[in-house]
Structure 1
Amino acid sequence: MRQPVHESAENYLKAVLAIRREHGFARAVDVSERLGVSKASVSKALSKLERQQLVRVVAHDVRLTEEGRAVAERVAGRHEFFFGLLRAAGVEECVADEEACRMEHCLSEDSFQKLAASLAARPCA
């Protein structure tokens, strides 16, 4: 069984996904700028993600593997869910974004699915 992906790795994967969606490619320097971390930190993280078979770096292009994409999309979806929930509650956009980033990592998949289903089942006010 695969070991769980840590929060920092999830953030790298989510950043790669977002950059690739915006530009069609992702370079380590783009990830560095997106996350506000050093190029050395990105290099170290990408090497670890390659060993975990979550990314491949081909000619400076960071590509998600199938499993890496699945993790990134799951985390991005959670972020969107929590961001939307916080914005609907009246939380300021920049605060909602920061807090959604923390919230996206803290629930098990089962708890997240139950929370999402519970909120979806509620009638609109």
Structure 2
Amino acid sequence: MALHQSGEDYLEAILVLQKQRGMVRSVDVARHMEVSKPSVCHAVATLRDGGFLTMDSDYFLHLTDVGREVAEQIYEKHRFFTDRLIEAGVDPATAERDACRIEHVISDESFRRLKAVVEAES
């Protein structure tokens, strides 16, 4: 199943919340992303059907191995671009918003090469 930008955003949000809190429910995702609970429920159902996450009997969300891999990749791109933009003097809030856009459109190859160049310069 191919993911759209919104699906990637939900996976990334779940990953971030799991790192912060450990256990995550749909309501936590709704608050974090500032979206409605029905929107989260729809996204969770789609991601569950796609094999990216599961929900246990207590309604906690758990990323599958595939879901975690996708979320980690998106989160890595997000952090990379946020950090680079802030280093370039961009306001942190703007850097966060722009990084969220860039992370979805850059190819894996371009990201790997750009990251390698930045790491080589460090």
Give the TM interval when normalised to the shorter protein. over 0.9
For 1:109 and 1:98, locate their aligned partners in 2 and report how far apart those are by CA, in whole Å: 20
Letter in 2 for 1:4: A
Letter in 1 for 2:113: K
Tell me which residue corresponds to 2:90: 91
Q: CA RMSD in A?
A: 1.0
Name the SS of the counterpart of 1:105 in structure 2.
Answer: helix
Higher fraction of helix:
2
For 1:114 and 1:56, locate their aligned partners in 2 and report how far apart those are by CA, in whole Å: 33
Runs of 4 or more off by more than 6 Å in structure 1? Answer: none
Offset of 1:4 from its aligned partner?
2.8
Tell me which residue corresponds to 1:113: 112
Identity among equivalent pairs (%): 37
Structure 1, unpaired ranges of 5+: none
Tell me the TM-score normalised to structure 1 length: 0.93
For 1:110 and 1:118, locate their aligned partners in 2 and report how far apart those are by CA, in whole Å: 12
Alignment of 1:11-90 (within 5 A): 11-58=9-56, 59-90=58-89
Name the SS of the counterpart of 1:4 in structure 2.
Answer: coil
For 1:120 and 1:4, locate their aligned partners in 2 and report how far apart those are by CA, in whole Å: 30
Tell me the TM-score normalised to structure 2 length: 0.95
Tell me which residue corresponds to 1:8: 6
**After superposition, what is the alpha-carbon deviation per residue over 1:84-123, rounded to whole angstroms, capped at 9, x for unaligned?**
100100111111111111111111111111111122223x
Offset of 1:39 from its aligned partner?
0.4
For 2:2 and 2:76, locate their aligned partners in 1 and report how far apart those are by CA, in whole Å: 18
Structure 2, unpaired ranges of 5+: none
Question: How many residues are treated as equivalent by the alignment?
Answer: 121
For 2:2 and 2:116, locate their aligned partners in 1 and report how far apart those are by CA, in whole Å: 24
Letter in 2 for 1:54: F
Letter in 2 for 1:85: R
For 2:3 and 2:46, locate their aligned partners in 1 and report how far apart those are by CA, in whole Å: 11
